[in-house]
Amino acid sequence: MKLPPGAIDCDIHPGQPGMDELVPFLPDYWRDQFENRHIDRMAFNMTSYPPNSPLSGRPDWRTADGKPGGGLDLIRKNLLDPFKLRFAICNMLHGAIALYNEDMSAAICSAVNDWTAKNLLDPEPRLRASILLPMHNPATAVAEIERLAHDRRFVQVLLPVMGDALLGKRIYWPVYKAAERHGLPVCVHAGSTYRWAPTPSGWPAHRVEDYVVQSAAFENQVVSFLAEGVFHEHPKLKLVLAEAGFTWLPNLLWRTAKEWRGVRAEVPWIDRNPAEIVEDHVRLTLQPVDTPNEDPAILTRLLDHLGSDRFLLFSTDYPHWQFDGEDALPEGWPMASVSNLLINNTLDTYPRLREASDSRDNAGHDPKNEEQVL
């Protein structure tokens, strides 16, 4: 289905800047290091997203030389204008997060964040961005949040779903404390730093296996947040799962609700049905919609199994090839839930989008008109 105007896209991926573009944002020490060691000639592509793989870039969403995403001109031409988006959140999942040198990783992450502000946010008021966090050392991650939190165009923090450790662990709580204090949801995005094998039986041979089994990684992360009591300790924290798929969620709600009856003595901070905690704190971006296109009734039934239309946040996952043409809204989506998907759930999740939306002068949009359209 075509999209009505005024939607908020919670997961887009502008083309990754080359190291030559990032070097000017680095301090002198790192500039020297990068030049001397030829680090400035490295591509820093993530194993999770080989640039030429079909998934990494829709054919009509690539640059003339084949790179996925492109710069601001292409983002406007392919995405912001044709889909008439009100906002789109840039998730710059840069390969720097996979480095082991945590100082170098942090320097590049800061450069990526500053590059994003200057090259995407400054010239285009419809764009918002995530603060890419180096998660090797929570203190460094907190420092990056504190450095950028004043810029309210950064609306969340960004981490990959597979990293050094399960994210509910208490060593990470200072990061969540800072995110909560600044009204920044924690966005956990598909992708791995490959610190651990992608499956409990080791390393799959194929790219598509790695991609598919990420849904299990998301499940285990949600269960980690629940079991460790992150939301009990951080009652205002929101967790956004991006490019996670969502068709696995009903099973997680049922299973954790049942498990909790048997294990609650072990995790006493889970003081109510875990499914309710997930409903209050966890959101998922729309794409990929992992149901068969030829049978839209299945999607409708799955949404009923979810039991709430508050879980999902609209996304295109631009430029990843998750759908064709202009059908950004999947067939089978109940009309009554469309405005929650496209706008309301997102504004409820992101305080900084809510405040931007409330100010009338944002890019000339009048929120009242848009709600009528929907």
23-42 residues in contact with another protein (CB under 8 A) are none
- Closer to another protein by Cβ: residue 139 or 205: 205
Instruction: Enumerate residues 227-256 that contact another protein by CB under 8 A.
Output: 227-228, 245, 247-248, 250-251, 253-256
The reply on whether position 290 binds another protein by CB under 8 A is: yes
The reply on whether position 47 binds another protein by CB under 8 A is: no
SS3 of residue 8 by DSSP: strand
The reply on whether position 166 binds another protein by CB under 8 A is: yes
Q: What are phi and psi of 322, to 5 degrees?
A: -105, -20
* x/- letters, 87..106, toward another protein (CB under 8 A): --------------------
The reply on whether position 165 binds another protein by CB under 8 A is: yes
The Cβ of residue 209 has, within 10 Å, a number of other Cβ atoms equal to 13
Give CA–CA dist 207/14, Å, rounded: 22
Phi-psi label, residue 105: left if phi above 0, alpha if psi -120 to 50, beta otherwise: alpha
Give CA–CA dist 197/210, Å, rounded: 10
- Closer to another protein by Cβ: residue 90 or 223: 223
The reply on whether position 220 binds another protein by CB under 8 A is: yes
Choosing from 45, 63, 119, 224, the residue that interacts with another protein (CB under 8 A) is: 224
SS3 of residue 347 by DSSP: helix
With contacts defined by CB under 8 A, how many residues of the chain interact with another protein?
73
Give CA–CA dist 326/2, Å, rounded: 6
Choosing from 9, 11, 144, 219, the residue that interacts with another protein (CB under 8 A) is: 219
The reply on whether position 308 binds another protein by CB under 8 A is: no
Choosing from 164, 233, 279, 331, the residue that interacts with another protein (CB under 8 A) is: 164
To another protein, the closest distance from the beta carbon of 122 in angstroms equals: 35
Choosing from 64, 265, 335, 336, the residue that interacts with another protein (CB under 8 A) is: 265
Tell me the H-state helices in 72-212: 72-75, 102-116, 138-148, 173-181, 207-212
Strand partners for 127: 88
The reply on whether position 161 binds another protein by CB under 8 A is: yes
Local structure of residue 185 (DSSP, 8 states): -
**Spatial contact of 117 and 147, defined as CB atoms under 8 Å apart:** no
The reply on whether position 139 binds another protein by CB under 8 A is: no
